[in-house]
Amino acid sequence: MIMEDIATVFPTIEILRHEPLAHYTHTKTGGPADYLAFPTNVQETKSLLAYANQEKLPVTVVGNASNLIVRDGGIRGLVMILTKMASITADDDQHTVTAAAGAALIKTTQVAQAHGLSGLEFAAGIPGSVGGAIFMNAGAYGGEISEVAVAAEVLTPTGEIRTLSREELDFGYRHSSVQDYHDIVLTATFALTPGDKGAIQAQMDDLNARRAAKQPLDLPSCGSVFKRPEGHYTGQLIQEAGLQGLKWGGAQVSTKHAGFIVNIDHATATDYLELIHHIQDVIWKTDHVKLETEVRIIGEQPQD
Q: Letter for the amino acid at 296?
A: R
Give which of 140, 135, 137 is closest to 124, Cα–Cα.
140
76 is catalytic: no
Cα–Cα distances (Å) from 210 to 63, 75, 129, 216, 299, in that order, read 25, 36, 21, 12, 33
List the catalytic residue out of 118, 254, 294, 296: 294
Distance in angstroms (rounded) separating the CA atoms of residues 275 and 261: 8
List the catalytic residue out of 174, 176, 221, 254: 174
177 is catalytic: no
The number of residues in the chain equals 304
Distance in angstroms (rounded) separating the CA atoms of residues 160 and 186: 12
H or E stretch at 108: helix 105-114
List the catalytic residue out of 221, 224, 254, 296: 224
Cβ 130 vs Cβ 138: under 8 Å = no
In 147-295, DSSP assigns E strands to 149-155, 161-165, 184-191, 193-194, 221-224, 247-248, 251-253, 260-263
Cβ 5 vs Cβ 15: under 8 Å = no
87 is catalytic: no
Distance in angstroms (rounded) separating the CA atoms of residues 75 and 37: 13
Catalytic site positions: 174, 224, 294
